[in-house]
Structure 1
Amino acid sequence: MKRNEVLKTVVILQAVCMIALAGFVMAKAWPLPSANGNVRDTEEQDDGAVAVVGNQVISKDRLTEELIEQYGDAVLRQLMIRQAIELEAEASGLAVAQEEANDELKRSAEGYENEEQFFDVMKEQLGMSRQQVMEDIRYRLLLQKIAVKDIPVSDEEVRQYIEDHPERFGEKRQYHLLWIVTATRAQAENILSRLESGEDFSELAGTYSIDEFTSQSGGDLGLVDADDPFYDEAVLSAASGMAIAEIAGPIELEEGYAVIELAGTRSTAALTGERLLELARKELALERAKPQQELEDELLSRYDAAIMK
């Protein structure tokens, strides 16, 4: 399974609650377009209609009820958890420094060209503004701090953890790859021939690639770690010996054949000093922490959370 498929699945799951909450707010506060494209002011309508299909009217109340029925419990739980996190952080004297938030943003944006592209994807796929993304990062970091605050980790354990996991903290090399995936070798060879004749890679990807997750973005896989286990080893091996703008293929995959282009490379420096020790200590403590849902349930219980309905 390719890494971008895994990420897309995660994004879709995360998007459900966000889209539902946005829809609920829109249904309450925003005029909806009518069938002919004009905006109807729902507050001026006696029946509260927000849409019409044939002779059947869909009311604002029905829309609200459906959203609450399908997504209300999940959205409400998330709001309650965030309030409980705020209370626990205040009681424990915990806070997230701007530097911590910026570091977490950099980790979240790994695999993207830059942070701006990451924000653009969050806006496009989740409808989240830059401020909402940073607020989500803040809550995530606060919950991590709460999870590990009572977990002791010795300096010797930290040193051993770093020694046992060099891949987590060492220098990383990444490839910016584009690809076109075809069902047969003959199709891949034809694509390769057309590229060598000067045809545009992104246009061919959009027309012929069978990878639905990248075809409409010109076959762009983004930045891929040189040792990423979610990508075919043959693709990464080929990329390691390519020059920028070089094209290679056909490369046999489980799902067919690929033609790839190396659009660029990037290397990240290894962590050192206090930053290395701090991150290793945190990761080790998180491995020993309670499962997230169990911790969330404890926080809700601690602050007498109750649904009033």
Structure 2
Amino acid sequence: MKRERLKLVIAGLIVLNCLTVAFFLAKGSSGNSEAVATVGKEKITRQDWLNEMESRYGKEILTELIDQKVIETAGEKNGVKISNKAVERELKMIKTMYGASGGYQSSDEGKWLQQIRNSLMLEELLTRDVHVSEKEMKSYYQQNSEQFHLKDAYHVSQIFVKTKEEAEQTLKELEQGSNFAVLAMERSIDGFTANQGGDAGYVSEDSEHYSQEIIKNIKRLKPGKWSNAIKFADGYAIVMVHEHVEGKKYSYKEVKDQIRRQIALEQMDTPVSAKPLWNETDVKWFYGEIEEK
């Protein structure tokens, strides 16, 4: 579905934002002949590194920056406004429905909110001339009611160890002020989350990856608190809750605009891209002629 692809686009834009910051901070640094790495007696200079980054990512990063400006300009020109409620609802859906697989990281929440606002504005601009009947929208709402009924979700981190002794030692160190993420990286036997400092993203009570005993403990925890040692098949788990996102069932009225855009995008059957708006906003760039998408 286009909306699922859009979540990946938003996640990709967050990564591009990070690359952009790294690239231009480095670009503005003095001493571009200094070495950023050495291999034996050979050195790789900052300028070598910047040139390679520009050749690999320059066009993509510039496209993303132009897209942001194009969407903002076209939105202002056409009087398109996206409410804070719509942005917050979309973020809530990403957290509860996509969790860690959606690429969401709480440390990037400000960037996520901005990218979501831009993405919703782009959807609105692309579909502004598409007519969708009330009957179609109500039918979509009824047939996809689960999509608008969000369950409680919990952002959790975890440490899995093999023995009760290891779990008790870990709890002791946490009580003494040790960092949960550091301990997870040092001793958790779950390789994937250990590399993330134990961060497992968002989970709900019907998650297939957790036993009901672990879910029960998660639901009892307040944000910032961790559990006692929880027995599971291969050892013991300690889980910590960062955030509890309360579930909600959205009414038809609350999601009517979202449904209209969704149906319109499906009818158009074209990529969700800002490129069609470039000519409207008179874009000129370093790479010459603009290719239509």
Shorter-chain TM-score bucket reads 0.5 to 0.7
Instruction: Report the Cα offset of residue 165 of structure 1.
Output: 1.8
Q: After superposition, what is the alpha-carbon deviation per residue over 1:138-176, rounded to whole angstroms, capped at 9, x for unaligned?
A: 322211211322232222222222222222222513345
Task: Give the 3 Å change call, closer, same or farther, for CA 60–276 of structure 1 in structure 2.
Answer: closer
Instruction: Report the Cα offset of residue 69 of structure 1.
Output: 0.6
Which contiguous aligned blocks of 4+ residues in structure 1 show a shift greater than 6 angstroms?
A: none
Q: How does 1:257-268 map to 2 (within 5 A)?
A: 257=234, 259-261=236-238, 263=240, 267-268=246-247
Residue of structure 2 equivalent to 1:272: 251
Q: Using CA pairs below 8 Å that are at least 6 residues apart, which structure has the higher relative contact order?
A: 2
- TM-score norm. by structure 2 comes to 0.66
Task: Give the 3 Å change call, closer, same or farther, for CA 284–64 of structure 1 in structure 2.
Answer: same
User: Equivalent of 1:191, from 147, 163, 166?
Assistant: 163
Residue of structure 1 equivalent to 2:34: 50
C-alpha RMSD over aligned residues = 4.0
Q: In structure 2, what is the Cα distance between the partners aligned to 1:105 and 1:176?
A: 13
Q: Give 5+ residue unaligned stretches, structure 1.
A: 1-6, 32-41, 43-47, 124-129, 182-187, 252-256
Residue of structure 1 equivalent to 2:27: 28
Would the aligned equivalents of 2:16 and 2:61 in 1 still touch at CA under 8 Å? yes
Residue of structure 2 equivalent to 1:226: 205
Say yes or no: does 1:211 pair with 2:190. Answer: yes
Q: Which amino acid aligns with 1:165?
A: N
Instruction: Report the Cα offset of residue 56 of structure 1.
Output: 5.1
Instruction: Report the Cα offset of residue 71 of structure 1.
Output: 0.7
Would the aligned equivalents of 2:137 and 2:259 in 1 still touch at CA under 8 Å? yes
Q: In structure 2, what is the Cα distance between the partners aligned to 1:171 and 1:109?
A: 10
Instruction: Report the Cα offset of residue 262 of structure 1.
Output: 5.8
Structure number with bigger Rg: 1
Instruction: Report the Cα offset of residue 70 of structure 1.
Output: 1.2
Q: After superposition, what is the alpha-carbon deviation per residue over 1:221-260, rounded to whole angstroms, capped at 9, x for unaligned?
A: 24312345xx43xx25444555734654434xxxxx4644
Q: How does 1:1-309 map to 2 (within 5 A)?
A: 13-14=12-13, 16-31=15-30, 42=31, 48-51=32-35, 53=38, 58-59=44-45, 61-108=47-94, 110=96, 121-122=107-108, 130=110, 132-175=111-154, 177-181=156-160, 190-192=162-164, 194-195=166-167, 197=168, 199-200=170-171, 202=180, 205-215=184-194, 219-228=198-207, 231-232=208-209, 235=210, 237-242=212-217, 244=220, 245=227, 247-251=229-233, 257=234, 259-261=236-238, 263=240, 267-272=246-251, 274-292=253-271, 295-303=273-281, 305-309=283-287
Q: Which amino acid aligns with 2:108?
A: M
Q: Which amino acid aligns with 2:63?
A: R
Task: Give the 3 Å change call, closer, same or farther, for CA 77–102 of structure 1 in structure 2.
Answer: same
Task: Find the residue that maps to 1:96 and give its secondary structure.
Answer: coil
Task: Find the residue that maps to 1:80 and give its secondary structure.
Answer: helix
Instruction: Report the Cα offset of residue 111 of structure 1.
Output: 8.3
Q: In structure 1, what is the Cα distance between the partners aligned to 2:230 and 2:76?
A: 55
Q: In structure 1, what is the Cα distance between the partners aligned to 2:27 and 2:128?
A: 40
Instruction: Report the Cα offset of residue 77 of structure 1.
Output: 1.5
Q: Give 5+ residue unaligned stretches, structure 2.
A: 1-6, 175-179, 221-226, 288-293
Q: In structure 1, what is the Cα distance between the partners aligned to 2:28 and 2:270?
A: 37
**What's the % identity of the aligned pairs?**
21
